[in-house]
Structure 1
């Protein structure tokens, strides 16, 4: 894959499952620690802390690391090592990117860190940095076609993505610190950016129509877009913008003062200064690559560092299905019930008109069924609302915001039946009528399956659910007729009514 294993496991079989691992990222702007818990093919962030040290501030002019930034970074790294020691996290790795890589005193900084903290920093090449970030995107998105772009303080890394693999990678000196964006006219910045992007034309036009944006400056841009659109779901991962939305938001960002941008929720005062440049750069990338949309990824370099040591986190499984199973594992008394329910219910939806696409609908039904019992330990009077919120903001990838809303609404109906959510701006904004109806059908189907089987896969297998031209038929095994109670029959009738089919229980 053209990248090194920072944890030192080499090419052996994956060894990270069930572990807590830590990645320290020494960037041009920030120094960040993320502690991950590796469950299956899912990376769960359990601790996240950063300091805006500003190592690369002024480096474009001096060729050296910022002295104040060096001291701030050292204090932060000392704290991080103490934290990890206290937490007992021994599997840890540290990487440094453009500022340390390019400054003449970068090696001195790395050695000083080793002497004062015992931490060994791997200084990544530009290509390695790009591929790590791209692997992180794949871990969080699953199949991807397009180009991943990681905007740091000093550099921009561009890497092609084709399903589960990375393609050509390139680094450009287009970080805001490298171009001194704060003091340059927009026209001059635009010309400089365009000339640099010409070098990247082979990478930008490799494959796909989607640009996957990584990095804090572009996350601030996404937050600005959400505020402008009055977007109902404040969640950055897989937030999507069309080319036209990018242009409009970029124009607005470049017309505002720093103080005005800093007042936007999700835009810090330190990010506000570089936001206009990040907006301009994104708009020029979209044009140069002919991209139709941008998808923002909360996964990037740090997740990629872990994935190099355990390639199965990228190459195997489905981030959505795996994430749903991990959620169920900790919440459901019967985690095996969900997969059984998914298979059992599937015949009922044969012939239904797809609302996200046939394959995607089946995938969403499989995920929803795995989540069907996450309310088991929640307060019975609030299960619907709590399950809706948990699923909507779940730390899992591989689904769009509309699909998140669909799953959340499905879980609402799983616990609340036909009742609507009242003033639900998320579902209203992100789903159309057909998608909301599909969520109702699936939720009622899950509700019926749970009542029929007592939420156990073993009893569920005692019944066969089939669909005819105008009816749903439930057929019990010879010794299972007594298991059908009135409560289950009522839910079966509700499910059939939503499906606009007759109820045909063979009792």
Structure 2
């Protein structure tokens, strides 16, 4: 029997951009879906070459490390060609910058990769790390710290702007070399370096934004210790006492002990105690109020710096949610209308919302239809998983959970009591109440519009009096009203604390 061949679907319209990051500890390739405001990685691979190992003692990159790096870069070159990533930005940081044979290595690396490699100064490295943080956390206010294998970059961020950064030679690989693998000697080196560092004087009472794999692994360990239910590192927050307690503990562990911890990458076992030491001593000196993890750093900062100014000003969360709507919703134009339509609930003097509440409501509207292709019994559950675990940025964990629950209630019903309890415990009751209210408005919108644009702008929703919620329908659309609309409207009015009132008006 002859097999029937499947018709080939059109591939996604990506414009892949590759970032090659040649660091002191690893060489990494990340390919993003395009030069976007909210870039999503479609491929991510690193090779732990250890270019910076031994550099502080010899002044040179070892032959073994350079050979491994060059081999990795040849592989990355073919992968970029395979994925159609014509735009490649390649950078090298502290190890290549500081090594006596760094220029020779860059020459070999350039030939292997087939693209120019920019050796970043410490100042430029710090700037790109800070821009990466701001691209993912636009309202960041504090100090950004990017810990690599050979150096630590520190930059102040506030109101979307950055100050001149500083680079200090406190990367774990360098510390291991300079201290002879003695934690006591390493502590003295760190404390001496931080003793008169001006930027740390501006840290007190503000957030510290941690960048880099070493500190991300510390956050993963803290999540495991506290049974944190949301396994998303971006915008994960630790209080200063909690971060110091954990960092102090880990800095006292041997590499063999760290290697046995399930939450930690085995390749980080040697360097993690030294990275933990740097964090502990910095928090002691700078007195930050908390530590916030940023999944965005140098690589995302590099893409961000290449965008046009008007694109850089766009909200990364809204951009990502619109992209979700384009991929999953029946009509993205309907979701724009849904944003405007729900505005009517929050325009009165007693029903105003903050700018942050408004942007989260808009984000929830763009996500409201992403589960329609899923089996009806699983739409709510699927939406919670998809939204809570999505790779979008520009939102903290409580905000992420608000979005997940709003769409959950949109499918399961605004009065449902079956939402995941572990996630519900992470937010205040008023957040859940607001999610229920907005979901009820969404449900009413969908039963009246059929998820298609053009209908909602003709239907009014208002709180004209303190006691009534009014639904205004033109006479030509009166046949739309029925049991489902009545039920959805009654639920919305109940959650709004008002009586439902329907008005039929002339067209």
1:376-414: CA deviation from partner (whole Å, max 9, x where unpaired)? 222222111111111111111111111111110111001
TM-score normalised according to structure 2 size = 0.91
Structure 2: distance between partners of 1:231 and 1:55: 35
1:202-243 CA distance string (max 9 Å, x none): 365179711110000000010111111111111111101111
Deviation string, structure 1 residues 318-368 (Cα, Å, up to 9, x no partner): 1111111111111112001122112211232446688xx722211211110
Residues 152-199 of structure 1: CA deviation (Å, up to 9, x unaligned): 000001111122222121111000111117854444333321221245
Gaps of 5+ in 1: 1-16
1:480 to 477, 483, 500: 477
Q: Distance in 2 between matches of 1:311 and 1:261?
A: 44
More displaced stretch, 107-116 vs 165-174: 107-116
Matches within 5 A, 1:134-149: 134-149=130-145
Partner of 2:88: 92
Distance, in Å, in 2 between the alignment partners of 1:386 and 1:496 is 27
Cα–Cα, structure 1 residues 499 and 183, in superposed 2: closer, same or farther, change >3 Å?
A: farther
Tell me, what secondary structure is at the counterpart of 1:461?
A: helix
Aligned partner of 1:3 in structure 2 is none
- 1:189 and 1:321 map into 2 onto residues whose CA distance is 44
CA contact (8 A) 1:452 1:485 kept: no
Q: What is the aligned partner in structure 2 of residue 189 from structure 1? A: 186
Please give the per-residue CA displacement for 1:105-147, whole angstroms capped at 9, x wherever unaligned.
0000011123344232111000011111111111111222111
Distance of 1:188 and 1:500 partners within structure 2: 64
Does 2:146 match 1:150? yes
| Conserved 8 A contact 1:18-1:40 | no
- Choose the corresponding residue for 1:299, options 296, 299, 324: 296
Match of 2:332 among 332, 335, 343: 335
State how far apart, in whole Å, the 1-side matches of 2:113 and 2:160 are: 37
Partner-residue secondary structure (3-state), 1:92: strand
CA distance in 2, matches of 1:297, 1:152: 14
CA contact (8 A) 2:134 2:140 kept: yes
Report the CA distance shift for 1:378/1:90 in structure 2 as closer, same or farther (over 3 A). Answer: same
Aligned to 2:364: 368
* Inter-CA distance 310–331: structure 2 relative to 1 (3 Å threshold): same
Where 2:17 maps in the other structure, the secondary structure is strand
Aligned length: 488
Aligned CA RMSD, in angstroms, stands at: 2.1
Where 1:158 maps in the other structure, the secondary structure is strand
Residue of structure 1 aligned with 2:401, choices 400, 405, 409: 405
Q: Distance in 1 between matches of 2:225 and 2:43?
A: 30
Equivalent runs, 1:206-221 vs 2, <5 Å: 209-221=206-218
Deviates more, 1:91-100 or 1:473-482: 473-482
Partner of residue 102, structure 2 = 106
Match of 2:489 in 1: 492
The normalised TM-score by structure 1 is 0.91
For 1:223, the equivalent position in structure 2 comes to: 220
Q: Is the 8 A contact 1:411 1:443 kept in 2?
A: yes
- 1:41 touches 1:313 (CA, 8 Å); kept in 2? no
Answer yes or no: is 1:167 the counterpart of 2:199: no
Give 2:412's aligned residue.
416
- 1:19–1:360 Cα change, 3 Å: same
C-alpha distance after superposition, 1:281-338 (max 9, x if no partner): 1122223333111111111111111122214487311111111111111111200112
- Name 1:36's counterpart in structure 2: 32
Correspondence for 2:442: 446
CA contact (8 A) 1:341 1:457 kept: no
Deviations 1:422-458 (A, max 9, x none): 5531222x11222222211221221111112212331
- Please state whether the residue corresponding to 2:172 is helix, strand or coil: coil
User: Relative to structure 1, is the Cα distance of residues 339 and 202 closer, same or farther in structure 2, using a 3 angstrom cutoff?
Assistant: same
**Aligned equivalents of 2:332, 2:204: Cα separation in 1:** 39
Question: Which string of whole-angstrom CA distances, capped at 9 and with x for unpartnered residues, describes residues 455-488 of structure 1?
Answer: 2331011111101312211111242222223212
Match in the other structure for 1:122: 118
Deviations 1:268-292 (A, max 9, x none): 1121222222222112222333311
Q: How far, CA to CA, are the matches of 2:349 and 2:399 in structure 1?
A: 20
